[in-house]
Structure 1
Amino acid sequence: MPALPRRYSLYTGLSFVMIATLLAGCSDEPQNDGGGGGGNGGQGTPAPEVREERAELTSVKVNQDYAGRARGAREVEVRARIQGILEERQYSEGQVVEEGDSLFRIDPDPARAAVRGAEAQRQVAQANLSQADREWNRIASLFQRNAVSERERDSAQSALDLAQANLAVAEAGLIQARLELGYTDVKAPVSGVTSLEDLPEGSLVQQGTLLTTIIQQDPIHVRFALPEDDAAIQRRARLAMSGSDEPSNLPATLVMVNGEEYSKGGEVDFTASILDPRTGSVSARAVFPNPDYEIVPGQFVRVRIQLQNLEDVFTVKETSVGQGPDGARVFVVDDSSKVSSRAVELGPVVDGRQVVLSGLEEGDRVVTSGMVSLRDGMDVKVADPENGEPE
């Protein structure tokens, strides 16, 4: 075998010397004997740094948002109740009108003529009744003196009855004529916002012709869908709708598209009694006051419903909660800066904070970060919350 170059031999010798030195240095370090219930692993290993927060009792409202669309409380069709020529529209399209405001005028002259004719018919009927009454009085007096026959008396009585009936018919005709005259002034049946007119002025309208539509926007309705498993909400809403004495008010908050809450609160007043097989959800409705017409029908909104009001619970950062052999747990720092794990019962997550129903006590120092390598009984250094330096 040929001899190795002198330079290669020198490098190999130096490598062996360096490895031997490193091994000797490692053997001089103190060894962890594995006891002590999970210490820091030796005096040379620094305690891990963690952050903490104090556990404080609080009250938490658990809300759930549902997507929905606004709709008018009522959409009323305004129709002609009499035949005639549409003479005038008396509102601006899209205008807010109040109940009883005049919207259209149909030519009233034919109706006025009909009223005058009905009044004349009533006068004729009244005159006939007066004549029949006088005739009855004469015949009755003569019959008592046996001057006329019973047949003549019966004829006078029948004439009086007929005259009274004719007067009633004439009075009914006059009432109908006056009603039809009133129908020439088409009024708003409800307060709301008007749509476009369906027919221009000068059109001949028939009885029942659609003239416009009024959408009542105060209150405003929001329809949304509840998941199949939200049985508690469905039950309370049905109780509210049925007028039951059992407390059933289910308050709701309206959240606008920009994320801001509507200033006026409402309530869920209806849920359907059947499940929609296409969506697996139940239709529901919330009602909100809308006096200033801030909410527009067709607008996309969210309905926020308070599902629970949890009293005397704790909330921690979501990063504080880990999983142990027995379920969820958190680490708590004691006065000697040692950590111990606590099994906790979790509630819902609200506004990015985890609700803890049990397992903590007020004043506990809960570790919020640096939990990855922690074990029970381990010493830790708690960072100063103001500048992040360990205490």
Structure 2
Amino acid sequence: MLISQTIQPRRTLLVLALGVVLSACGKSSNEQNPAAGGMPAMPVTVQAVTAETVPIQTEVVAQTEGAKQIEVRPRVGGIVLKRLYQEGEPVKAGQDMFLIDPVPYQLQVEQSRAFIAQQKARIEQTAREAQRLKGLLDSKSISQREYDNAVSDNSVAAAILLQYQAQLREAELNLSYTHVKAPESGIGGRFVLSEGALASANTTLLSTIVQVSPIWVRFSLSESELQNLGGHLTPGKVKDVRLILADGSEYPLSGKINFSASQIDPALGTQQLRAEFQNPDRTLLPGQFVRVRVTTGKRDGVFLIPQTAVLTGQQGKFVFVAEKDKEGKTVAAVRPIVAGGWFNDRWSVLDGLKAGDQVITDNLIKVRPGAPVAPHAPDAAPAAPAAAGQEKAKS
């Protein structure tokens, strides 16, 4: 009897404890899933888009090069006695850059002058001889042949004089070549040899001259970039060419296209182009990497959105927009777009959007098509997420 009375209270306590546990589990489940009646709306930042007019342009990597790069070589051989310019500084066309030992060439000039003087004396002698024989011929004292030979000797002497005079001009020219001059204006390069070295005529490289104003910028555009600009480029199609330097600043002077390839490179699939920029302050140096921005016109009805808003899927690029569904709830929807490239730090959208669309710009990893969202402007604080079931309960 006592045992029966003892068991009965224990059963009662067990039932009460089980009820408490089940109640606690139910409460915990409700706390973990407060939106039993619906998914909470995801706070997202949206941008309402409007149609704009933007330039048709593209920006690509390019490299600068000198408009002219001339190799300086001596036209006569000899010992390089002196460098006459400052390495890395501007030189003008015709300026002396090097001095080749002139002594051997001065001797050639003097020798040629001596030959000329000797030959002039020979001409005078043959002329006198021909004149003397002319009188003897008139008196029938000599034959016509003897007189003709004397006249021929005088003519040959005159011809030899012309030869010596040409040799003198050549010797004087070679002497002038001992002063190696700059063939073009530009920036003088380093002296490849050293003073006292032997240089060979027309062979030994002494230095280089690079023309940096104007300076050329060489670049290429892919077929997709060309299509965005309106097709194959010619100088007449390009409205503006700008340079973006390594620090992000824009070069103050605009350029112009001075070369465009007439065909697409079959190996690279690109069109080769070259632009020319004035460079009076030598801000740009050959070999420098820059970005070139080519503009061919303007395009109307373009939407500009942040780069982070554009996603890429199997079907191409798309964005999420916040819009009302059939029940009047604000949900995320997928919009395929046609992107036209970057404009400053934003994507230009050519098709797929309309004015007033609210493009979602953040929380894109969490957003799902058809999921409820709570849109807010970029400068507004997001509203606290509320469950659909809680909203119904409040109503």
Aligned to 2:386: none
* Root mean square deviation, CA, Å: 5.1
1:293-330 alpha-carbon deviations (Å, 9 max, x no partner) = 3334444x134242764511222234556799998466
Quick one: structure 1 residues 132 and 373, their matched pair in 2 at CA, closer, same or farther if it must change by over 3 Å? same
Quick one: structure 1 residues 101 and 294, their matched pair in 2 at CA, closer, same or farther if it must change by over 3 Å? same
Quick one: structure 1 residues 291 and 48, their matched pair in 2 at CA, closer, same or farther if it must change by over 3 Å? closer
- Aligned equivalents of 1:353 and 1:192: distance in 2? 41
Counterpart amino acid of residue 119 in structure 2: A
1:63-106 alpha-carbon deviations (Å, 9 max, x no partner) = 232254x4444444433333444333323344432222222223
Residue 373 of structure 2 corresponds to residue 368 of structure 1: no
1:227-258 alpha-carbon deviations (Å, 9 max, x no partner) = 6877779x967x66xxxxxx366965444333
Aligned to 2:344: 351
Contact 2:322/2:360, CA 8 A, preserved across alignment: no
Aligned to 1:315: 304
Counterpart amino acid of residue 177 in structure 1: A
Matches within 5 A, 1:1-391: 5-13=11-19, 51-66=46-61, 68=63, 70-129=64-123, 132=126, 149-152=143-146, 154-190=148-184, 191-201=186-196, 203-208=197-202, 210=204, 212-218=206-212, 219-221=214-216, 247=236, 252-266=241-255, 267=257, 269=259, 287-299=276-288, 301-306=289-294, 309-312=297-300, 313-318=302-307, 328=318, 331=321, 344-361=337-354, 363-369=355-361, 372=367, 383=376, 386-388=379-381
Where does structure 2 lack aligned partners over 5 or more consecutive residues?
29-34, 384-395
Q: Percent identity?
A: 28
Quick one: structure 1 residues 177 and 368, their matched pair in 2 at CA, closer, same or farther if it must change by over 3 Å? same
Contact 1:86/1:204, CA 8 A, preserved across alignment: yes
1:165, CA displacement in angstroms?
1.4
Quick one: structure 1 residues 214 and 375, their matched pair in 2 at CA, closer, same or farther if it must change by over 3 Å? same
1:8-38 alpha-carbon deviations (Å, 9 max, x no partner) = 211334567799999xxxxxx9x9xxxxxxx
Q: Return the TM-score normalized by structure 1.
A: 0.66
1:182, CA displacement in angstroms?
0.7
- Aligned equivalents of 2:66 and 2:249: distance in 1? 21
Counterpart amino acid of residue 351 in structure 2: S
Quick one: structure 1 residues 251 and 150, their matched pair in 2 at CA, closer, same or farther if it must change by over 3 Å? farther
Contact 1:337/1:381, CA 8 A, preserved across alignment: no
Partner of 2:117, secondary structure, is: helix
1:169, CA displacement in angstroms?
0.2
**Does 363-372 or 252-261 show the bigger shift?**
363-372
Quick one: structure 1 residues 121 and 326, their matched pair in 2 at CA, closer, same or farther if it must change by over 3 Å? closer
Contact 2:86/2:188, CA 8 A, preserved across alignment: no
Quick one: structure 1 residues 326 and 199, their matched pair in 2 at CA, closer, same or farther if it must change by over 3 Å? closer
Quick one: structure 1 residues 16 and 108, their matched pair in 2 at CA, closer, same or farther if it must change by over 3 Å? closer
- Aligned equivalents of 2:340 and 2:77: distance in 1? 67
Aligned to 1:243: none
1:185-235 alpha-carbon deviations (Å, 9 max, x no partner) = 22222332231351324x4544346362123141445556666877779x9
- Aligned equivalents of 2:219 and 2:319: distance in 1? 37
Quick one: structure 1 residues 306 and 222, their matched pair in 2 at CA, closer, same or farther if it must change by over 3 Å? closer
Where does structure 1 lack aligned partners over 5 or more consecutive residues?
23-28, 32-40, 241-246
1:271-293 alpha-carbon deviations (Å, 9 max, x no partner) = 6989696x887876555444333
- Aligned equivalents of 1:193 and 1:13: distance in 2? 97
Quick one: structure 1 residues 146 and 303, their matched pair in 2 at CA, closer, same or farther if it must change by over 3 Å? farther
Partner of 2:206, secondary structure, is: strand
Count of aligned positions: 358
Quick one: structure 1 residues 337 and 141, their matched pair in 2 at CA, closer, same or farther if it must change by over 3 Å? farther
- Aligned equivalents of 1:163 and 1:128: distance in 2? 6
Contact 1:82/1:207, CA 8 A, preserved across alignment: yes
1:270, CA displacement in angstroms?
6.2
1:150-204 alpha-carbon deviations (Å, 9 max, x no partner) = 4345434423431331121011011011112112222222332231351324x45
Contact 1:236/1:249, CA 8 A, preserved across alignment: no
- Aligned equivalents of 2:117 and 2:238: distance in 1? 60
Contact 2:322/2:375, CA 8 A, preserved across alignment: no
